[in-house]
Structure 1
Amino acid sequence: MTSLPEGSPSLIGEGARDTAVQRLQEAYSEGLLSHEELDERLDRVLTAKAHSELESALASIPELPDQLPDTTSTITAAGGRIKRRGTWRVPRVLKVASAYGRVRLDLSRAIIEHPVVDIELHLGTGGARITVPRDAVVDVQGLRTDWKDLRYKARQPSRPGGPEIRISGVMGFGRLRIRHARR
């Protein structure tokens, strides 16, 4: 293995490379880079030998949008129904907690301003149904179900650019059904 001279100002260290990789991953998670752009830029960062190569891979990454605040809303109910449908503004993070009762979230006509929306469920008994936009990508890896399995059939988005809906949390004695809107 050939070692490079340490005194050269144009050479980069692993710390700078790690920081660049983290910036790319954050830009991707915020929806500012496509999957293909991320792959191409990560390759450039991981093979860069000089700061100028590293900077060129990061140069055109847009700053995180200031006009979209990182909002969090919480909906709680001891029992009964929690229902959101029609035209409503979806926050960046939506926390839903219910001891018992049903939860219905319809995002098909909702105003979704964030490329990634996190829905955190903490439900005791009772089921939940979430309708997502037709072009949404759904991630349920952070969800734990204790009693019944999740009912969701992943599908390819009809067109790219839809929001990513990440669902996490705990479902007790109820079933979560997720479906894509038909229109």
Structure 2
Amino acid sequence: MTAQFPEPSPRPVPTEALRASHNDREAVVEQLRDAAAEGRIDFDELDARLERALTAKTHGELALLTADLPPTHSSSAAAESLSPLVLKGGISGASRGPGRWEVPGHVVAHGGVGGVSLDFTRVECRLAEVVVEAYGETSGVTVVIPDGWGVDTGGIDPGFGGLTDRTTPDRLPGTPLIRLTGSGGIGGVVVRHPSKRERRKLGTS
């Protein structure tokens, strides 16, 4: 008998429906054990959640297990202790991502003449929020965040170039908040989810 697989969907797959990896499950197991050690959950509940974590198939199933827990102190403290990441567009432009990179609690992006691209789609970030200080200057700053992440644009001055927010408001429990500050300058600041072409590269469409 030939195994039947679902037909590929032409529509983007929500982040919560993406398949979880071994590393994803192990990260949640570590967070649950830390929570039990801190007295946030009892050991009976820990056992129940660990069993569900180890058999979870999707990001959404894992997110439900830690939705009522803060990020682990070890991971968040380590990230917050990192020096701010400073990107300067200069003449040729600058970018970080879409590969995996270590996310600090504070990122500063100066668009310059070449522009800056900041892509969070492949990172594993345990911080509750990341401050992105964006200055569009001449050629602008583009920030790309995964589906399910949240963004707060209240701290940014649109300037002449303006602020373009193409994100959706449906933030998932346990995901980071990108807090945008700075100014649009002439080039403007754009924050969005991945495009169709980027989703194809990510394997989510």
Q: Same fold (TM over 0.5)?
A: yes
1:110 aligns with 2:110: no
2:185 is aligned to 172
Structure 1 residues 119 and 158, CA gap change in structure 2 (3 angstroms): closer
Deviations 1:10-31 (A, max 9, x none): xxxxxxxxxxxxxxxxxxxxxx
Does the 8 A contact of 1:152 with 1:177 survive in 2? Answer: yes
CA-based RMSD of the aligned residues comes to 2.6
Counterpart pick for 2:174 among 152, 156, 161 = 161
- Separation (CA, whole Å) in 1 of partners of 2:166 and 2:71: 34
Deviations 1:50-108 (A, max 9, x none): xxxxxxxxxxx979825523222222343221111111111110112243221111101
1:152 is aligned to 165
More strand by share: 1
Counterpart pick for 1:88 among 88, 96, 101 = 101
Deviations 1:138-167 (A, max 9, x none): 001111121122111342326322110001
1:138 aligns with 2:146: no
**Unaligned ranges ≥5, structure 1:** 1-60
Matched AA of 2:96:
R
Offset, 1:174: 0.7
Counterpart pick for 1:78 among 90, 100, 105 = 90
- Separation (CA, whole Å) in 1 of partners of 2:165 and 2:71: 34
Does the 8 A contact of 1:79 with 1:98 survive in 2? Answer: no
**Structure with max Cα Rg:** 1
- Separation (CA, whole Å) in 2 of partners of 1:145 and 1:63: 32
Counterpart pick for 1:65 among 54, 58, 73 = 73
Deviations 1:110-153 (A, max 9, x none): 23131110011123200222110111110011111211221113
- Separation (CA, whole Å) in 2 of partners of 1:157 and 1:77: 31
Structure 1 residues 64 and 151, CA gap change in structure 2 (3 angstroms): same
Does the 8 A contact of 1:123 with 1:170 survive in 2? Answer: yes
- Separation (CA, whole Å) in 2 of partners of 1:63 and 1:175: 32
- Separation (CA, whole Å) in 1 of partners of 2:190 and 2:172: 23
Report the number of matched residues. Answer: 124
Identity of aligned residues (%): 25
Normalised to the residue count of structure 1, the TM-score between the two structures is 0.59
